[in-house]
Structures are given as C-alpha cells and as structure tokens.
C-alpha cells in the first residue's frame, strides 16, 4: 500500500483496517495500522488493533507484548477488559490454559457482561474438563446474546462430553440455524441424529 492517507477519525481508520482484514490483505492492514499509530501514538484502539492483527497472524508472543505495553495506559473497565480478553485468547491459542483462564477471569472482573470473554472462558473450561463451569459461562453468554452461534456450538460439545445427547443435538441445531456456514456443528448434528435413530431402532426391537 502506497501513499497512505491518515486522517483524524479513529473510527474511520479502524473501518479501513477491518475491511483490509476482511479482504485478507494482511500486509496492507499492518502497514495502515502502523502508519495510523505513528500519527496517533496515544490511541489505545489503534494499538489494540495492532495486537489483534499479530494474533490473527499467529504471532501470539508479539500480540501479547503489544497488549502488555498498552495495558499500562488503559483505563479500568471496558477498555482494559477488551485488552485482557485479547491476551487471554492469545494464551489459549498457545495452549497456556491456566494463563488463559486467569486472564479471562481478569477481563470479566473488569466487565462481567463481556460476551467474548464468557465464550472464551467457557471454551478454556471445556478444554480443561471443567464442564459445569463451562455450562455456567455459556448459559450467561446466551442470556446476553442468543443470536450468535458460538455459545451454542461450544455448549453442544460440552453436553456431548457429558453424555447429554438430546441437549447436544438441540444446541448444534441452534448453532446451525444461527450460522448456516458452521460446518462443524452441522457434522456434529448429523452424527447425533444418526446416533438417536440407531438407539431408537435398537430400543424398538
């Protein structure tokens, strides 16, 4: 990207970055965010975007380093919660589940209604085998927003792990209804439907 024009509207800059990411133009997005930070060095939002891009690029250590620097300037509440949430996901992707869980806890102590952290902590709990804790977080996430597929997909997996096949099938169905492109949930749903049909045939003999 050449001749980058950076204005004073941070929201407009973020929209441009998001569009580049959506178009999978990662290098251009990095170039734009770095130019924007040079012009607006005190913008927490832009610096957080730089960390998010690093994490999306699988450069988790770089993302965490950027977040740690930004946290020093972040205000308590929503701003700090969002940064801790990003760091928690980076730790999860690095398979550091203890750090991930601790960071999600910190994010939710700053903003108890942060939906992304509830789903993230539930996913961490699922990976750690804490199914009851996972279900509590997922129920809370669904109570905040019941239109997104993620909590239903994760809750379906948790129910499956607990042997609650009827509940699992219901949630996989909700996940597919919310996101028709969720092929993983669709495959789980088909599997559960086949299992239910087989059990029905066996019991009717």
Question: pLDDT tens-digit profile of 82-121?
Answer: 999 999 999 999 999 999 999 999 999 999 999 999 999 9
Q: What DSSP string runs through 106-174? A: HHHHH-TT-HHHHHHHHHHHHHHT-HHHHHHHHHHHHHH-SS-SHHHHHHHHHHHHTT-HHHHHHHHHH
- How many Å apart are CA 85 and CA 177, to the nearest integer? 27
Does residue 185 contact residue 153 with C-beta atoms inside 8 Å?
A: yes
Tens digit of each residue's pLDDT (9 = 90 or more) over 120-150:
999 999 999 999 999 999 999 999 999 999 9
- How many Å apart are CA 156 and CA 75, to the nearest integer? 36
Does residue 165 contact residue 196 with C-beta atoms inside 8 Å?
A: yes
- pTM score, whole prediction: 0.84
Give the number of other Cβ atoms within 10 Å of residue 111's Cβ.
19
> On the CB side of 52, how many CA atoms lie within 13 Å of its CA?
17
Tens digit of each residue's pLDDT (9 = 90 or more) over 12-25:
999 999 998 888 89
The chain-wide mean pLDDT, for the chain, equals 89
C-alpha closest to that of 139 among 163, 161, 115, 162: 115
Helix axis angle for 44-56 and 10-22, nearest 10°, is 10
């Amino acid at each position: 990207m050449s001749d980058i024009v950076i204005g004073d509207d941070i929201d407009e800059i973020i929209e441009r970055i998001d569009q580049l990411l959506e178009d999978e133009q990662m290098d251009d997005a990095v170039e734009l965010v770095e130019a924007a930070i040079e012009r607006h060095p005190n913008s927490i939002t832009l610096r957080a975007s730089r960390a998010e891009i690093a994490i999306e690029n699988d450069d988790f250590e770089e993302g965490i380093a950027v977040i740690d620097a930004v946290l020093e300037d972040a205000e308590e509440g929503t701003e700090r919660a969002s940064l801790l949430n990003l760091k928690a996901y980076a730790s999860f992707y690095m398979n550091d589940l203890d750090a991930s869980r601790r960071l999600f806890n910190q994010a939710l102590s700053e903003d108890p209604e942060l939906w992304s952290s509830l789903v993230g902590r539930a996913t961490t709990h699922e990976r750690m085998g804490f199914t009851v804790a996972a279900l509590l977080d997922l129920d809370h996430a669904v109570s905040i927003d019941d239109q997104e597929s993620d909590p239903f997909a994760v809750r379906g997996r948790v129910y499956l792990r607990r042997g609650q096949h009827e509940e699992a099938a219901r949630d996989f169905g909700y996940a597919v209804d919310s996101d028709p492109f969720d092929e993983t949930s669709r495959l789980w749903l088909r599997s559960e439907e086949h299992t239910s049909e087989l059990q029905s045939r066996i019991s009717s003999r």
